[in-house]
Structure 1
Amino acid sequence: MPIDRNAIKQEVPIDPETGKPYLNTVAAIQVSVSGAGSEVSPYVAQAIKVIRDSGLPQETNALFTDVEGDLDEVLHVAGEAAKKLAEQGYRTSLVLHMDIRPGFTGQLTEKPKLVDEILSE
């Protein structure tokens, strides 16, 4: 059944490998530390490396790293990125904004394309 972007509810696909519902999630993840000085980029980079090493589709911008995958995978990678810094003894901040949309995939690239199409009309 084709995906209807305007439908309020979608069929929830089942992951054939796990037999569990696949809850596609796009998340904006921001991880940082407090008390490490005026420049936190070396710490942020460590968290971003954890996210990139996860293998999930991702892209980093000035404030967040956007990630897409199953809800459980996204939550896991966000937690691991935060732990990377917290386990060094730093007070760690994790900001997580998620759009959980069953039935959809590829939204990390499709959402910006849709906005560009709308703006070009």
Structure 2
Amino acid sequence: MLIAFALTPMGVEENVADHIADAVKIVRESGLPNRSDSMYTMIEGDWDEVMDVVKRAAEAVAAKAPRVQLVLKADLWPGMPHPLDGKIELLERRITPTA
């Protein structure tokens, strides 16, 4: 399972990065494969472990912000090993012609 999620602390003005850093730290310390970019944090694992990490990350932001919005997108692809990188590998094979 691959989850992409975004947390938005509301009512904190320009201190968003401070709040999100707490969440990303939780994701990284989880030991699960993950990647963050300017819009989402992606995390790979089974349903229970991934959702536990998302919950703890959301709670960390909520501990400092009066309100938090969560956007979550899940890719449930049972036959895809390591979807965090596997999906990109499939795409790259189609973009880059083989010799």
4+ residue runs over 3 A deviation? none
Q: Does 1:94 align with 2:70?
A: yes
Gap regions ≥5 residues in structure 1:
1-24
For 1:1-121, what aligned pairs fall within 5 Å after superposition?
25-121=1-97
Distance 2:27 2:91 in 1: 26
Relative contact order (alpha carbons < 8 A, sep ≥ 6): 1 or 2 greater?
2
TM score, norm. by length of structure 2: 0.89
Distance 1:94 1:105 in 2: 26
Gap regions ≥5 residues in structure 2:
none
Q: Which amino acid aligns with 2:71?
A: V
1:37-69 Cα offsets, whole Å, 9 max, x none, are 134111111111111111110011111111100
Distance 2:15 2:63 in 1: 19
Q: Which amino acid aligns with 2:41?
A: T
RMSD: 1.3
Q: Which amino acid aligns with 2:85?
A: T
Contact between 2:12 and 2:65, CA under 8 Å: does it hold in 1?
no
Q: Percent identity?
A: 33
TM score, norm. by length of structure 1: 0.74
Distance 1:120 1:101 in 2: 24
Q: Equivalent residue of 2:14, what SS?
A: coil
- 1:89 Cα shift? 4.6
Distance 2:88 2:6 in 1: 20
Distance 2:49 2:43 in 1: 10
Q: Would you tell me which structure has more helix in proportion to its own residues?
A: 2
Whichever of the two has the greater Rg, that structure is 1
